[in-house]
């Protein structure tokens, strides 16, 4: 289990960061009239941010050393 967590730590960090960013984007910038599909609902905005953050942070790779 530790190996899976160590390997995907950047994805987890991206999910949390993206979810927070999506929520705060909805809170401070969001669409008030409901015409914006993604940012008019806090749940959708948070989920979208988590997905985008996870995908962006998954690009960060840990360099392999001789010990790995």
| Average pLDDT estimate for 1-26 | 87
Whether 68 is in a domain gets the answer no
* Count of domains forming the chain: 1
Q: What is the pLDDT of residue 32?
A: 73
pTM, entire model? 0.78
Q: Which domain holds residue 29?
A: 2-57
| Structural contact between residues 45 and 26, judged by C-beta atoms closer than 8 angstroms | yes
CA angle 13, 62, 54 (to 5 degrees): 30
pLDDT for the residue numbered 45: 93
**8 band by pLDDT with thresholds 50, 70 and 90:** confident
Q: Does the residue 16 lie in any domain?
A: yes
Does 20 fall in a domain? Answer: yes
Residue whose tokens read 């994805």: 11
Residue of higher predicted confidence among 12 and 64: 12
Asked if residue 64 belongs to a domain, the reply is no
Say if 51 falls within a structural domain. Answer: yes
Q: State the average pLDDT over residues 16-31.
A: 92
């Amino acid at each position: 289990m530790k190996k899976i967590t160590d390997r995907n730590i950047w994805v987890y960090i991206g999910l949390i960061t993206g979810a927070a960013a999506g929520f705060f984007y909805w809170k401070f910038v969001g669409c008030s009239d409901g015409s914006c599909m993604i940012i008019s609902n806090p749940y959708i905005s948070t989920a979208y941010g988590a997905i985008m953050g996870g995908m962006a942070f998954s690009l960060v790779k840990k360099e392999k050393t001789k010990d790995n």
